[in-house]
């Protein structure tokens, strides 16, 4: 079970349609595949999707920090010693996505070594997640058409609508068009990616107050400390925190300061080991969570589904797990499918999926 090597392989896969939102745009998945090798010949794999506009990491920085700091921290430990590797990686500040990928690749290697599913090792609450689809910036008509296609093709009836940065009345028009086009039975919530001031957020939420939103996510920057608290106190909608809560300490800070009522958990930035601490913290405090999406490919989406299905709390809400559908290609040997609005956790040891080595050779950018 001893780790003998950790690889960090950069690759690039275009999106058929770029994902645009208030804090940035992703046209190409410039991710890093992290592979943990053991002396038993087992290989555990996970994906690192750098998001410079959110965490400051880039593809090159993920490759470098894994190669220079995290691989040496992991080599020589057993795949059971996830806490040891976590503590060693923790000595380096930041780099949440690189740390998370090393952690999840260790879990995959552990599951494969034991012949057990990671989702079952994590908790095994259920075998699937309901899916929420994230709608990036387009015109109101295009966003309605995308939502209808997701409903008609995949049975998805929950949508996260990107808002912020562009004129807020356009966002109101989008949400109104979605509600009118899709009816009262679909669930809608908005994500501002820090794109509004507290005043703009208050105005926009007031203008959308008849549209039956479930909640609002990260409307204003975490540095707007009092503004966010004011918004949370005055809005009738629960406010969820996303990019402001990358660690258990940040979750604690946002919840105790009154700036947030709910928490987005992204395995791409917390991994499974730290993600479970966030679940415990939120359950203890009686706070709702949502499994978020970091514009993941299929491997990242499998991690979200495995973790979301593992615990009662994380399986309550639909998980954001459909953005891989917009990619022009992928690394998995067998594609994921979303049917009747649900994504099943792949069965089998570890994360339950295999890589297509030919696809990796095609998309990797380091050879
Ligand atoms: C989200 O929920 O904010 C956008 C940027 C990112 O890192 O994740 C996405 C989705
Ligand atoms: Mg978000």
Is 160 annotated as catalytic? no
pLDDT at residue 32 in the model = 98
Q: Measured from the CB, is residue 293 less than 6 Å from ligand 1?
A: yes
The mean pLDDT value of the chain amounts to 98
Using the CB atoms, write b or e for 251-270: b if 16+ within 10 Å. Answer: bebbbeeebbbbbbbbbbbb
Select from 15, 18, 20, 21 the residue to mutate for testing ligand 1; criterion: most ligand atoms less than 8 Å from CB. Answer: 21
Average pLDDT for residues 152-175, to the nearest whole number? 98
Average pLDDT for residues 77-95, to the nearest whole number? 98
- pLDDT tens string 121-150: 999 999 999 999 999 999 999 999 999 999
Q: Measured from the CB, is residue 133 less than 6 Å from ligand 1?
A: no
pLDDT at residue 153 in the model = 98
Percent of the chain's residues with pLDDT above 90: 100
pLDDT at residue 314 in the model = 98
Average pLDDT for residues 195-223, to the nearest whole number? 97
pLDDT at residue 100 in the model = 98
Whole-model pTM: value is: 0.98
Residues with Cβ within 8 Å of residue 176, at least 6 apart in sequence: 140, 208, 211
Please, which contacts does 310-315 make with residues 24 or more away whose CB atoms are closer than 8 Å?
Answer: 310/119, 310/120, 310/122, 310/123, 310/124, 310/125, 311/122, 311/123, 311/125, 311/276, 311/279, 312/125, 313/279, 313/282, 313/283, 313/288, 313/289, 314/265, 314/279, 314/289, 315/125, 315/126, 315/129
Instruction: Considering the candidates 59, 276, 294, 298, report the single residue annotated as catalytic.
Output: 294
pLDDT at residue 115 in the model = 98
Cβ proximity of 158 and 318 under 8 Å: yes
pLDDT at residue 182 in the model = 98
- Domains of the chain: residue spans and CATH: 3-115 (3.30.390.10), 120-344 (3.20.20.120)
* Predicted confidence band of residue 47 (pLDDT cuts 50, 70, 90): very high
- pLDDT tens string 305-347: 999 999 999 999 999 999 999 999 999 999 999 999 999 999 9
């Amino acid at each position: 079970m001893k780790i003998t090597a950790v690889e960090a392989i950069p690759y690039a896969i275009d999106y058929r349609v770029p994902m645009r939102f208030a804090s940035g745009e992703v046209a190409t998945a410039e991710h890093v595949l992290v592979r943990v090798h053991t002396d038993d010949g087992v290989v555990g794999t996970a994906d690192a999707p750098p998001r410079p506009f959110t965490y400051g990491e880039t593809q090159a920085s993920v490759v470098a920090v894994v190669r220079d700091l995290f691989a040496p921290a992991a080599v020589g430990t057993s795949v059971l010693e996830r806490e040891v590797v976590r503590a060693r990686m923790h000595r380096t500040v930041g780099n949440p996505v690189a740390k998370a990928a090393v952690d999840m690749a260790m879990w995959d290697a552990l599951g494969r070594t034991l012949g057990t599913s990671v989702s079952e090792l994590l908790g095994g609450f259920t075998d699937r997640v309901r899916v929420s689809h994230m709608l990036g910036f387009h015109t109101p008509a295009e966003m309605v058409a995308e939502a209808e296609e997701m409903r008609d093709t995949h049975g998805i009836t929950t949508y996260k609508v990107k808002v912020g940065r562009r004129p807020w009345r356009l966002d109101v028009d989008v949400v109104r068009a979605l509600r009118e086009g899709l009816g009262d039975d679909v669930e809608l919530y908005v994500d501002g990616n820090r794109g509004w001031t507290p005043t703009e957020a208050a105005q926009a939420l007031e203008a959308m107050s008849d549209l039956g939103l479930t909640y609002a996510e990260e409307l204003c920057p975490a540095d707007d400390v009092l503004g966010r608290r004011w918004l949370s106190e005055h809005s009738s909608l629960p406010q969820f925190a996303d990019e402001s809560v990358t660690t258990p300490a940040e979750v604690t800070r946002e919840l105790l300061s009154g700036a947030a009522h709910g928490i987005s958990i992204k395995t791409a930035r917390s991994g499974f080991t730290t993600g479970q601490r966030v679940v415990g913290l939120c359950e203890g405090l009686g706070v709702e969570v949502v499994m978020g999406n970091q514009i993941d490919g299929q491997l990242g989406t499998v991690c979200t589904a495995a973790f979301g299905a593992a615990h009662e709390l994380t399986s309550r809400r639909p998980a954001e797990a459909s953005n891989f559908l917009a990619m022009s290609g992928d690394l998995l040997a067998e594609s994921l499918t979303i049917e009747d609005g649900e994504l099943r956790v792949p069965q089998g040891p570890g994360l339950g999926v295999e890589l297509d080595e030919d696809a990796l050779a095609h998309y990797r950018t380091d050879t």
